[in-house]
Amino acid sequence: MAAVTVSIVRFGGSNCDRDAALALGSLDIDAEIVWHEDGLPEATDGIVIPGGFSYGDYLRAGAMAARSPIMDEVRALAEDGVPVLGVCNGAQIGSESGLTPGAFTTNRSARFQCEHVHLRVENADTPFTSAFTEGEVISLPIAHGEGRFEIEPRKLDAIRSDDRVLFRYCEADGTVTDVANPNGSTDNVAGVLGERETVAVLMPHPERATLDDIGASNGAGTDGAGVLRAFE
Amino acid sequence: MTAYTATVTVRLKHGVLDPEADQTRKALERLGFDLDGLRSADRFDIDLDADDARSARERADEMAERLLANPTIHDYDVDVVEAE
C-alpha cells in the first residue's frame, strides 16, 4: 500500500465514488470514501471529487456541493499542495467553488452524451499527466449533459499562456477540430488546472478507463490509470 | 424593518450559447408558432425583511454574487418591491 490516502468526497447524488475507489485501489493507491458532512480525515494526502449528480444538479450542476462546508477544507488543502482531482460532476463542483477557472454548462447538443473521446495532452508537466507526453493522444469516456467549458476570452488567453489547459478534445490523430468537440467546449478544453498544477478538473472519466478487465471489455482502454497515478 | 420581495433574474451573458432555449424555440416552432428568437432566464423571488429597499437590494445582490448566478456565464438584475 502506498502511504498516500486519497479521500473521495461523497455528496448526496455522487455516483462515481465507488468506481474511483476501485480504480485507485487497482493501482495500489489507498483510498477511502468520505461523506461530505463528516469532513476530511486528517490523513488526507489526496482528494478526488467524483462524478454524479450532487444535489440533483439543482440550480446548476455542482453549484450546491461547491458551497458545502467540506469544500472549505478541500480549498485549504489544495492551497497546501495536496493533489485534488475533480471528475465530471466533480469538475463542475471544482469550477463552481473557484478551485479552477471557467464554468461547465449545458452541452451544445442539449443532450446527455455518453461516448469515448480522444484527448490531447496539452501539459504533461503535472501530476495528472506525467504518465504521458505533451501532444500525446489518450482515450477516455465522457458521460455528461453539462460539460461545455465556458470562459471569458481574456481568461482563456491567461490560462493558455499559463499552461493551465490540461486536455483538449481532439481527433484520433491529435488534430483539434470542432467535430471532435463533443459538447461545444470553448477551445475544445476538456480539463484545466487550478492555480497550482496539483489541482485539476476534467469532464472525462479516468476511473472508468483504469481497470484492465473493464477497459478491455468496453473499449475504454486504461489511459485513465495515467491520470490517477497523480496520487501515487 | 419592512417586508420586501427581491426578484433576482439570472440570464446568460450575451453571446453565451443557450442550447435549452434553442430546443425550446424549436419545440414552439414545431407547434406552429412563428418567432424570431427566445431567451430563457431563471427568476428567484426572495422575501426578506430589511431596514430599507437599499439594504434589501444589497442582500439580494450578495445572494446573486455568491450563489444564484455564475459570473463566468451569467448577468443578473435585482428588483425590490415592498411585499404586499
The answer to whether A184 touches A108, Cβ cutoff 8 Å, is yes
CB atoms within 10 A of CB B5: 16
Cβ-Cβ contacts under 8 Å, A145 against chain B: none
Chain B residues with CB under 8 Å of a chain A CB are 16-20, 22-23, 66-68, 70, 72-73
Output DSSP code: residue A81.
T
Question: Measured at the alpha carbon of residue A107, what is the angle toward residues B67 and A105, in degrees to the nearest 5?
Answer: 15
Least CA distance to A65: which residue of chain B? B67
Q: What is the 3-state secondary structure (H, E, C) of A42-70?
A: CCEEEEEECCECHHHHCCCCCHHHHCCCH
Cβ-Cβ contacts under 8 Å, B70 against chain A: 60, 63, 96, 103
The pLDDT tens digits of the residues spanning A167-223 come to: 999 999 999 999 999 999 999 999 999 999 999 999 999 999 999 887 667 677 899
Mean pLDDT of residues grouped by 10 in chain A (232 residues)? 78 97 96 97 96 96 97 97 98 98 97 96 98 97 97 97 98 98 98 97 96 75 95 94
CATH code of the domain in which B69 resides: 3.30.1280.10
The pLDDT tens digits of the residues spanning B37-80 come to: 999 999 999 999 999 999 999 999 999 999 999 999 999 999 99
Q: Do B72 and A150 touch (CB under 8 A)?
A: yes
Q: Do A110 and B67 touch (CB under 8 A)?
A: no
| pLDDT of the residue at A230 | 96
Question: Pick from A180, A177, A207: which is nearest to A25 by CA?
Answer: A207
Q: Do A108 and B20 touch (CB under 8 A)?
A: no
Tell me how far apart the alpha carbons of residues A37 and B78 are, in angstroms, rounded to a whole number: 33
| pLDDT of the residue at A216 | 67
| CB of A152 less than 8 A from some CB of B | yes
| B70: nearest CB among A60, A107, A109 | A60
Catalytic hit among A96, A146, A197, A207: A207
Give me the residues paired with residue A113 across strands.
Answer: A144
A88 is catalytic: yes
Question: Pick from A120, A89, A119: which is nearest to A220 by CA?
Answer: A119
Q: Which three cell numbers mark A88?
A: 465530471
Tell me how far apart the alpha carbons of residues A188 and A137 are, in angstroms, rounded to a whole number: 14
Task: Indicate the fold that domain A5-231 takes in CATH.
Answer: Rossmann fold (3.40.50)
Tell me how far apart the alpha carbons of residues A148 and A169 are, in angstroms, rounded to a whole number: 11
Q: Which three cell numbers mark A211?
A: 481497470
Question: Pick from A100, A98, A222: which is nearest to A166 by CA?
Answer: A100
A118 is catalytic: no
Query: By three-state DSSP, how is residue B15 classified?
Result: coil
CB atoms within 10 A of CB B56: 25
A205 is catalytic: yes
Residue with cell 490560462: A159
| pLDDT of the residue at B84 | 78
The answer to whether B59 touches B9, Cβ cutoff 8 Å, is no
| CB of A72 less than 8 A from some CB of B | no
The answer to whether A95 touches A102, Cβ cutoff 8 Å, is yes
Cβ-Cβ contacts under 8 Å, B67 against chain A: 59, 63, 67
The residue range of the domain holding B72 is: 2-82
| CB of A58 less than 8 A from some CB of B | no
- Minimum distance, in Å, between the CA of residue B49 and any CA atom of chain A: 24
Query: By three-state DSSP, how is residue A14 classified?
Result: strand
Strand positions, DSSP E, chain A: 5-10, 30-35, 44-49, 84-87, 103-105, 113-121, 137-144, 148-150, 165-170, 189-193, 199-202
User: B82 falls in which pLDDT band (50, 70, 90)?
Assistant: very high
Query: How many structural domains compose chain B?
Result: 1
| B73: nearest CB among A67, A103, A109 | A103
- Minimum distance, in Å, between the CA of residue B35 and any CA atom of chain A: 20
